[in-house]
Amino acid sequence: NAGVMQNPRHLVRRRGQEARLRCSPMKGHSHVYWYRQLPEEGLKFMVYLQKENIIDESGMPKERFSAEFPKEGPSILRIQQVVRGDSAAYFCASSSLRGRYEKLFFGSGTQLSVL
């Protein structure tokens, strides 16, 4: 009965490289959310996805960031040409969305460090 799985736990990239963060939702959950937590700041919503669809990307930076949740496999948050300011903890959460608002289940996060 695995929870939300994120990998890698820690990711180190040099400026200009690409970062790929993976999130496998809880079994039976088809809704995934990504959040970013900058050092000494609160959590910020980035994007909400259902299988093969982006539902709400209002919190996603317009450039270099993209997210997908394919029919098969985990959700991927991709950051191209990383910069030092991208260093943060990235969390994903999932829900089953039986009702209008559902409890969220969070992964352990990926700590991205950009050198």
Partner 1 sequence: KNEVEQSPQNLTAQEGEFITINCSYSVGISALHWLQQHPGGGIVSLFMLSSGKKKHGRLIATINIQEKHSSLHITASHPRDSAVYICAVPPPYGGSQGNLIFGKGTKLSVKP
Residue 45 buriedness (CB in 10 A; 0-12 / 13-18 / 19+): middle
Three-state DSSP class for 111? strand
Structure tokens at 47: 């994007």
Structure tokens at 57: 């990307």
Cis peptide before 39 (omega within 30 of 0): no
Residue span binding partner 1 (CB under 8 A) among the ranges 16-24, 62-70, 73-81, 93-101: 93-101
Using CA atoms, how far residue 62 sits from 13, 53, 65, 93, in Å, is 21, 17, 7, 21
Residue span binding partner 1 (CB under 8 A) among the ranges 21-29, 63-71, 74-82, 85-93: 85-93
Is residue 38 close enough to count as binding partner 1 by CB under 8 A? no
Give the nearer residue to partner 1 in terms of CB position, either 15 or 44: 44
CB 81 → partner 1: shortest distance, Å? 26
Is residue 23 close enough to count as binding partner 1 by CB under 8 A? no
Is residue 90 close enough to count as binding partner 1 by CB under 8 A? no
Binding site for partner 1 (CB under 8 A): 31, 33, 41-45, 48, 55-56, 58-59, 89, 91, 93, 95, 97, 100-106, 108-109, 111
